[in-house]
């Protein structure tokens, strides 16, 4: 019954959701370490970097999920899922780098951005192909 | 035509979207009450708690939607939709508690977290089952 | 194979994702212009308005995507996709208005809100119809 569902995309989505939860948890740990009680969001540089690292993840998370599922469903599920896993690795590099030093967020950031661009290209190809097929009856592949 | 669509998940999603909009509205009301004009996000403690309560909802919203839909589609739609409604109740408890006093956000928070963990377990079971069925031809249930 | 997928919704989603990325980019440009290095999020009014404009987009993005897809799948894909494109235009009006002056964010904001309400009405009609059909075997249309 469920055998034709995009289970790889669902699996990568769950991994990414758990990773988002883990990042939120690390902001909480940083709050405890530096004794910064909510709703305060300012404090020592290390706390502010941790807080902003998480915020950046939040800002990109919906974009990531949208691009992951569209590239996976309209183009290629296995490639999209692999891209998704690599994106999560880049997100972790970004987060741990950012906590140590502001400029150490950059390698992970550009790494993620490359993966995101790759998924965007896949999604765009898939959408164009699907649009031509559905509305103009043209089959490219 | 639409009779096999996950309408319960869609319904709970719409309720949660309206609840998110209502929280944003309450931040706006708190702005008016305390005369804090955008783009300022600091001010009296009550305003800052309201602002942060909403931000926390935003931080968790994509995670919630992902887990809701995956648990509902890969495991059980009725249970997932019920979990979703209970999560929204917990979110409301969190929000109204947080506005009054920082530590009163905690009961609602742990309540939500329990529901989220329940949905994550459902989603994980559903994904494992679906993966075994699709790629290894093993049917657990 | 992919010819029955909601390609218009996917296309509008990709446009909105690129627009979100463009807004994040403009926050980065504003950082450079005003020499405000992460994790700092305060500074000259123009930077703070740009930062908050982007944050508001993030706060609404998941709501927008949920409402777009549910109205498109449960009610009418073409209308929902058109609404989605108009919403992105309103989001751009909001962003560029907000950067210039706080109160100039309002025309774009109310414009977006109208489109969102229209999509919410579509989604609600679609869900009620689908629920009656699936669970009570009542066909309204």
pLDDT at site B1? 45
Query: Is C74 in contact with B5 (Cβ distance < 8 A)?
Result: yes
Residue-wise pLDDT for B63-121, tens only, equals 999 999 999 999 999 999 999 999 999 999 999 999 999 999 999 999 999 999 999 99
The two three-digit tokens of residue B116, written as one number: 């989220």
Is the Cβ–Cβ distance between A140 and A132 less than 8 Å? yes
Residue-wise pLDDT for C108-126, tens only, equals 999 999 999 999 999 999 9
pLDDT at site B4? 86
Choose from B10, B18, B42, B56 for mutation: most chain C CBs within 10 A: B10
pLDDT in tens, chain C (141 residues): 446 899 999 999 999 999 999 999 999 999 999 999 999 999 999 999 999 999 999 999 999 999 999 999 999 999 999 999 999 999 999 999 999 999 999 999 999 999 999 999 999 999 999 999 999 999 877
ipTM of the complex as predicted: 0.95
Average pLDDT of the segment spanning B7-12: 98
The two three-digit tokens of residue C104, written as one number: 């100039």
Q: Where are the alpha helices (DSSP H) in C1-141?
A: 7-34, 45-74, 77-100, 106-135
Is the Cβ–Cβ distance between B18 and B91 less than 8 Å? no
pLDDT at site C99? 97
Domains and CATH numbers, chain B: 7-135 (1.20.120.550)
Prediction pTM value: 0.96
Q: How far apart are CA B139 and CA A5, in angstroms?
A: 15
Q: How far apart are CA C136 and CA C23, in angstroms?
A: 45
CA-wise closest residue to A75 among C5, B73, C77, B128: C5
Helix (H, G, I), strand (E, B) or coil at C4: coil
* Set of chain A residues whose Cβ sits within 8 Å of the Cβ of B70: 10, 13-14
Largest Cα–Cα distance of chain A, in whole Å? Answer: 62
Per-residue DSSP letter, C43: -
Query: A65 vs A23, A100, A120, A125, C14, CA distance in Å?
Result: 17, 27, 11, 18, 11
Residue-wise pLDDT for A122-139, tens only, equals 999 999 999 999 999 998
Give C47 to chain B, closest Cα distance, Å: 10
Among chain A, residues having any CB pair with chain C shorter than 8 Å are 45, 48-49, 51-53, 58-60, 62-63, 66-67, 70, 73-74, 98, 102, 105, 120, 123-124, 126-127, 129-131, 133-134
The two three-digit tokens of residue A15, written as one number: 């991994």
Residue-wise pLDDT for B37-56, tens only, equals 999 999 999 999 999 999 99
Query: Across the interface, which of C7, C40, C65 has its CB nearest the CB of A66?
Result: C65
The pLDDT confidence band at residue A1, using thresholds 50, 70 and 90, is very low
Residue of chain B with shortest Cα separation from C123 = B14
Report chain B's C-alpha Rg in angstroms.
Answer: 18
The two three-digit tokens of residue A94, written as one number: 């970004």
CA-wise closest residue to A50 among A33, A64, A62, A66: A33
The two three-digit tokens of residue C41, written as one number: 């999020």
* Set of chain A residues whose Cβ sits within 8 Å of the Cβ of C32: none
Is the Cβ–Cβ distance between C7 and A134 less than 8 Å? yes
Helix (H, G, I), strand (E, B) or coil at C10: helix
pLDDT at site B3? 62
Report chain C's C-alpha Rg in angstroms.
Answer: 18
Residue-wise pLDDT for A36-55, tens only, equals 999 999 999 999 999 999 99
Query: Across the interface, which of C20, C24, C39 has its CB nearest the CB of A48?
Result: C39
CA-wise closest residue to A111 among A126, A124, A129, A92: A92
Q: Between chain A and chain C, how many beta carbons pairs sit less than 8 Å apart? A: 75
* Set of chain C residues whose Cβ sits within 8 Å of the Cβ of A70: 10, 13-14
| Cα torsion angle, B129, B134, B139, C3, sign | positive
Query: Is C74 in contact with B21 (Cβ distance < 8 A)?
Result: no
């Amino acid at each position: 019954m469920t055998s034709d569902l995009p289970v790889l995309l669902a699996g990568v989505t769950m991994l990414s959701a758990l990773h988002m939860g883990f990042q939120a948890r690390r902001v909480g740990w940083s709050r405890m370490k530096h004794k910064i009680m909510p709703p305060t969001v300012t404090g020592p540089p290390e706390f502010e970097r941790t807080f902003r690292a998480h915020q950046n993840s939040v800002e990109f998370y919906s974009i990531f999920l949208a691009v992951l599922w569209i590239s996976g469903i309209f183009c290629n599920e296995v490639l999209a899922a692999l891209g998704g896993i690599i994106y999560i690795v880049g997100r972790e590099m970004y987060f741990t780098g950012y906590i140590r030093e502001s400029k150490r967020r950059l390698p992970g950031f550009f790494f993620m951005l490359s993966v995101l661009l790759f998924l965007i290209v896949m999604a765009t190809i898939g959408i164009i192909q699907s649009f031509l097929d559905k509305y103009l009856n043209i089959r490219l592949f």
